[in-house]
Structure 1
């Protein structure tokens, strides 16, 4: 069906799947928060994920799960679980659009952590992206004008957790397959959610089962769709599509939860998007130069 289509168009279809997955995951997380703790929601998510990813691994080969980097997987998933906890906790207390907008600060923290931990250079475009990102965050939070809800701080720290997990993922990707990383993600995070859940366990009732299924399936489908989109199109195409999550989730919040669309949140997210695009454009311009330099080094002349 899609073999004669332009790759960017196919990437757009995958991003539609990612956007709907993220929105469905946010709504299901909000609905489940009325009945379950955040730990229990994360436990259900990981439990379904183990079966879904396990099925894919069984189809593509169990050999890819052999690893000498258990410590790296553990570090990644401690950070990622913290990010997930902040995200799902915040869904219960603050507007959906604010959760997504603050989550978009993840590239800011990723650049800072890569500079501090990996020694990556903070180039002018990266510094520009940092400036726009922090300015956007301040516009969203408006410190001093309003009392910050603890859930706001939770998603802010969650974004830092996501950034730390992205850095560790970059390291793991050199030796591990994506399915290997995802499988250990669900397997390691399963007890992280299960053990605290047992302290205040609540048996799911029939009306919660569809939401549990949605949160488990969309958690996997969102990342799978984004990975397929990035494989087909440049980040300059995919990232603006991802930022469409904000107006879409704001519309969902308005229609289903009577949440008002906050102009400062939208403007702050716009600043973050502008900074990201400036940085991505600069990285793309450098890529051909690096390729030319490598070609020259390999040339026998």
Structure 2
């Protein structure tokens, strides 16, 4: 999980570096293109099996929403202070809880709703609506989180049918052409170091996703969630060092509130999952099995 966090933090830095010379729409396309190229060697021997699915229309919808979320998120990273853009991305689990109630009809009790409400207080602390610090760009970052939450629900639904390899592969196969369309409207070939940054963005993104998936398979979500928060000091330090960005105390305070809410939600979900596993009926084992 720590490796995944470092990869995603470095990806945010390379997105900012690339967006200084080309449009963020292009950065998103190259992130997907080079991410796919980095993924294919890892799936050798499993490629044909990973392509088997009966859910192509759902993958297209999931990928289209995912690209919209990516474009909003990349724009936020390219135009907002890095620490603020990343802090607002941590609001995604709050929206996931709401989306799970709407789309999956999950039951959420009072304590988790209270955690969601506290998390949104953290969002307000960062965004500061009504103050001179308020920026419409922060709403773009929040839009990325809302769309990302919808994608998370779709992945949960798809994972009931297809393997993780299938989900990742078809996502990338749709991401590349879908993200190419908006990129063509602002197309300008990268020059010099920009090529390094867009290639690094794709590799870092794929590496982060693979490590994150592996971490969730090996460990408890409630234990891993605090580690993912290390992304904030990484990008805050990079923003200060590379882009001369001051670290706002309101961003730090709001991010801390969102983190506390997310940590409680993850802990609560892990508790409920353990209880469900403990209370599940044990199937009788037949003789000879």
In the alignment, what sits opposite 2:188? 202
Distance in 2 of aligned mates of 1:45 and 1:269: 26
CA deviations 1:108-134 (Å, max 9, x no partner) are 111111111221112123202211111
Residue 40 of structure 1 is matched in structure 2 by: 26
Q: 1:169 aligns with which of 155, 173, 192?
A: 155
Q: How do 1:112-151 residues align onto structure 2 when only pairs under 5 Å count? A: 112-146=98-132, 148-151=134-137
Q: Which segments of 5 or more consecutive residues in structure 2 lack a partner in the other structure?
A: none
CA contact (8 A) 2:25 2:183 kept: yes
Counterpart of 1:234 in structure 2 is 220
Query: Aligned partners of 1:134 and 1:187: how far apart in 2?
Result: 34
Give the length in aligned residue pairs: 285
Q: CA-atom RMSD, angstroms? A: 1.8
TM-score (norm 1): 0.89
CA 276–207 in structure 1, closer or farther in 2 if over 3 Å, else same? closer
**CA distance, structure 1, for counterparts of residue 276 and residue 6 of structure 2:** 37
- 2:233 paired residue number: 247
Indicate which of 96, 99, 102 corresponds to 1:110.
96
Q: Deviations over 1:171-213 (max 9, x none)?
A: 0111212121111111111122212222332122222121111
Deviation at 1:45, TM superposition (A): 1.2
* Residue equivalent to 1:11: none
Contact 2:30 2:198 in 1 (8 A): yes
Residues 220-229 or 48-57, more deviating: 48-57
Distance 1:25 1:263 in 2: 24
Distance 2:275 2:198 in 1: 48
Alignment of 1:258 onto 2:248:
no
Q: Deviations over 1:114-155 (max 9, x none)?
A: 111221112123202211111110111111113533321111
Segments of structure 1 that go 5 or more residues without pairing to the other structure are 1-14
SS at match of 1:59: coil
Q: Residue 188 of structure 2: SS of its match in structure 1?
A: coil
Q: Give, in angstroms, the shift of residue 86 of structure 1.
A: 1.0
Ranges of 4+ aligned residues in structure 1 off by more than 4 Å: none
Task: Return the match for 2:264 from 252, 256, 278.
Answer: 278
Distance 2:268 2:10 in 1: 34
Aligned to 1:189: 175
| Pair 16,282 (structure 1): closer, same or farther in 2 beyond 3 Å | closer
**What is the aligned partner in structure 2 of residue 57 from structure 1?**
43
Q: Distance in 1 between matches of 2:237 and 2:123?
A: 21
Q: CA deviation at 1:280?
A: 2.5
Measured in 2, the distance between the counterparts of 1:27 and 1:61 equals: 31
SS at match of 2:260: helix
Q: Is the 8 A contact 1:128 1:279 kept in 2?
A: no
Kindly state the Cα deviation for residue 299 of structure 1 after the two structures are TM-superposed.
6.8
Between the aligned partners of 2:152 and 2:274, the Cα distance in structure 1 is 25
CA shift digits 1:215-238 (9 cap, x unpaired): 110010111111222222211221
Q: 2:62 maps to which residue?
A: 76
Aligned residues of 1:75 and 1:168 also touching (Cα < 8 A): no
Per the alignment, in what secondary structure is the counterpart of residue 295 of structure 1?
A: coil
Output the CA distance in 2 between the equivalents of 1:299 and 1:180.
Answer: 32
